[in-house]
Structure 1
Amino acid sequence: MPAPTRLRFPAAAAAAAALLASCSSGSAAEDPGGTAPGPGAIAEAERLYQIVNDSRATTDELTDIEQRVAKRCMEDEGFTVHYPPYFQESAFGTYGAAGYLTDAPVRAVPTPEAAEQWGFGVWTEFTYVDEDAAAELLTPEARIAFNLPDLPTGPPDTSEWDAESDAYQADWIKAYTGAPAITSDLKGPEPDTTAPPGGCWLAMVETIYGEPYMIESDGESYPATHRPSPASTVEDFEDTGELSARLDGEIADFDACLAESGHEGWELGDDLYPPLWQYFGGMYDPAYFEEYGDEEGIEVPDLPDDAPADFAGVLDLERAMAVDFAACGQETGLRQAVEEGWAAMLVDAFAPIEADMTAWQEEMQAHLDAAQDYLQE
């Protein structure tokens, strides 16, 4: 049985670290500096987020064309069976279909419609409990809402590669990387990751980009095929503390509404996500939580005495509770405040690099066009 995945909000397309320095704490009614929350911020956030999504799609196109050019080089060298991990499909473009709210902390404050259909989405972390029921629930709309693109899972199929001899694999690795393979009785031939770039990989890079792009990290440098999208410089931010500080008034009202609705002991918290994963997870997969508990030691409200023992029953309970949370989100204005506040933060993060993102896409499109011309020769 697979272990459940701890529910966390993805980091990509959130606000930048620079935002933390530019925004001060305060309630939603105060102006913390930067973009003001409101409908205008939402429209601008959607526009900027589309540029981010376009850059992800461009990255997928670059990966595809790189692999095609590299394979041509290898096939010109006489190799027809390739090492699958080096030629996996890129799927960055599938991320973020829900728009600028893709990474926003709205799971605990769903819309009424989403709450009725999908609850909080905790069940998406426990689909293995009832795969048939989960398959029916995971509609295209649900996958977009919870950022769960329908992609192949598991490692790539290496059966054809594994059927080749060690000599073929070693020769392939040398032709692709430019360096002799490292041999091992246990693992077979492997690439020498410390060797300088060469072989068909370097030939591919020179064909498309002219030369490798060197990335500096922790005092070391390593080669990449091209300059990453400027959007990547602000995609590592996942702290919701600043947004929580902006919304302290609405959050207090929301917590009070929950108590009045019969959900005493539940509070939204600074990360805008109470322990819903632990609470419902303890019902979806009690065996896992009995054995491992919650390693983070988070205090969780007691489970109901008549807690359901099947996936459908727990889902009904999740939906009912989510409907109450959604109602409080509407009554207190918290849902709207989160949407508008998140939009303002996203604008502050991406607006300063908009020109660079656009220039990057134009630069990469020129590389794509040149690679297409090469492949048509």
Structure 2
Amino acid sequence: MAAAPPWRLAAGLIGAAALAATAACTESGGDASEATADPEVVDAAGLLEMANESVRLSKELDAAESRVIAECLEAQGFDVHDQRELGQNEPYEVASLVDAYPTAEFLPEADIAAEWGFGWWAQTAEMFDSEETQDYYAEAYPDPFADQPVFDNSEFESLPDDERRAWSVAYQGEEATAALEYTGEPSEEEASSEDGSLDFGDGETPSAPKPGGCQLEMITAIYGEPKQVEIDLDGGYLVWEWRPEQPEIEYESIEAEFAGRMADAEAGFLSCIDEAGYPGWEFDEGGRLAMNDYSAMLYTGEPFDPGAPPGEEPPVDTSPPAPDLPDDVPDDFEGKRAYEVDMAVAFAACGDDTGYREAATSAYDAVVAEQYAAIEVETYAWQDQIRDYTVKAQELIAG
């Protein structure tokens, strides 16, 4: 129920001081402003350069792949291309290694809290499609890619349906094109099981269609044959891959390490919001609060339902439960929203007054940077591979 942005946040630039410190409370438990130096020195600026170089190299290879595919299509007489597939944006730069902080959902900035609360109201049926909701998202979660140019795809879109389909088949093959046209309705060969899920009949793991057409020609010319890889999606799903996999940081390890470093600072924050009239809150093992449950109870009167795939049980939640709503919570929408705003203002003030916000930002920056440092060697090796494949693609283009 708690509001979530339709894009991922791009946080501010990591400072060297922020990466060299983690949070600690005083013995009184009320102030998290004192910091303890991290024994491991992390080159934040170098890691950020590494991350941006990965983006640049990936975009450069994307563009080279598209040029190889375009030449293949044009040799078959297809001169107008779908820019959604072959159009390429310029490389962008990220300003931080951190996409979003785990505190964002319960610790808005003071000015945002005073005007918009936590943003829970924006997810209600009354306000979901409203202009005010769009204004809230634009202010609280500015889109870091808003300045990216929008491709003009009008020439391709103006082609007759049969010509656009013929282009798609030439681009990626009949199987992939047919998959894009799939309506979701079972065919005569597909039966629906009793629980409503799709029965594939042969018991095999479902798979994305294999690339075909000029896309497959590009893949085999640069990388060799594509390989099927199983991902954990609704019980397993096979996808096709051809590029070497980019090293990734371990987000679960980040949350656990962050929560461990913040244990003392959390006590001061919880004490503050208790005194402000919001008792009973507990952090979970990832350093988060049960805001989804609380917001759902406030606006719908029902617990938050995360849902589950057909035929599967929802995951068991072992996190500390959200506190009960006060008996005097208003019944009307505007009253509920006013309660939300007051609560958000109190949480934001406690985050600032106890030093919890600054400490949490510093600790999370440090933990994320350490994770990037742990994959630094593998990332540079991957970048070398991407450079080699780009050279190979450019040689194909040059003929």
* TM-score interval, smaller chain: 0.5 to 0.7
Superposed CA offset, 1:71-104 (max 9, x none): 331121123566787x17688977x956234232
* 1:264 paired to 2:279: yes
Name 1:301's counterpart in structure 2.
324
Out of 256-265 and 354-363, give the one that drifted further.
354-363
Identity %: 24
Name 2:243's counterpart in structure 1.
226
Write out aligned runs for 1:1-377 (5 A). 7=4, 28=24, 38=37, 44-45=43-44, 47-80=46-79, 87=85, 97=94, 99-107=96-104, 108-112=106-110, 115-116=113-114, 119-122=117-120, 125=123, 129=128, 131-139=130-138, 142-143=141-142, 163-164=161-162, 169=165, 173=169, 175-177=170-172, 187=182, 199-206=213-220, 209-212=222-225, 214=227, 216-217=229-230, 223-230=240-247, 233-234=248-249, 237=252, 240-281=255-296, 286=299, 289=300, 293-295=303-305, 299-302=322-325, 304-306=328-330, 309-310=333-334, 317-365=339-387, 367-368=389-390, 371=393, 375=397
Out of 220-229 and 71-80, give the one that drifted further.
220-229
Kept after mapping to 1: 8 A contact 2:108/2:344: yes
Q: Distance in 2 between matches of 1:263 and 1:234?
A: 35
How big is the alpha-carbon RMSD for the aligned residues of Structure 1 and Structure 2? 5.1
The SS at the match of 2:270 is helix
Q: Distance in 1 between matches of 2:52 and 2:285?
A: 28
Kept after mapping to 2: 8 A contact 1:42/1:344: no
Kept after mapping to 2: 8 A contact 1:307/1:314: yes
Q: Distance in 2 between matches of 1:347 and 1:265?
A: 33
Flag the 1:253–1:195 CA change in 2: closer, same or farther, 3 A.
closer
Kept after mapping to 1: 8 A contact 2:51/2:97: no
Deviation at 1:65, TM superposition (A): 3.6
Name 1:19's counterpart in structure 2.
none
Q: Distance in 1 between matches of 2:75 and 2:373?
A: 45
Deviation at 1:68, TM superposition (A): 3.5
Q: Distance in 2 between matches of 1:5 and 1:62?
A: 38
Flag the 1:315–1:180 CA change in 2: closer, same or farther, 3 A.
closer
Flag the 1:88–1:254 CA change in 2: closer, same or farther, 3 A.
farther
Flag the 1:133–1:50 CA change in 2: closer, same or farther, 3 A.
farther
Q: Distance in 2 between matches of 1:5 and 1:260?
A: 24
The SS at the match of 2:333 is coil
Deviation at 1:181, TM superposition (A): 7.9
- Letter paired with 1:339: T
Output the TM-score relative to the length of structure 2: 0.61
| Richer in helix (by share) | 1
The SS at the match of 1:266 is coil
The SS at the match of 1:258 is helix
Q: Distance in 2 between matches of 1:12 and 1:216?
A: 29
Q: Distance in 1 between matches of 2:41 and 2:350?
A: 22
Name 2:310's counterpart in structure 1.
none
The SS at the match of 2:383 is helix
Superposed CA offset, 1:182-231 (max 9, x none): 979x959xxx9788765412332355x3535646547998653421322x
- Letter paired with 1:211: G
- Letter paired with 2:107: V
**Structure 1: gaps of 5 or more residues:** 14-25, 30-35
Superposed CA offset, 1:89-138 (max 9, x none): 688977x9562342321222344455446543545656953521133334
Kept after mapping to 2: 8 A contact 1:112/1:327: yes
**Structure 2: gaps of 5 or more residues:** 11-21, 26-34, 184-205, 307-316
Name 2:18's counterpart in structure 1.
none
Kept after mapping to 1: 8 A contact 2:329/2:339: no
Q: Distance in 2 between matches of 1:61 and 1:110?
A: 37
Q: Distance in 2 between matches of 1:248 and 1:63?
A: 43
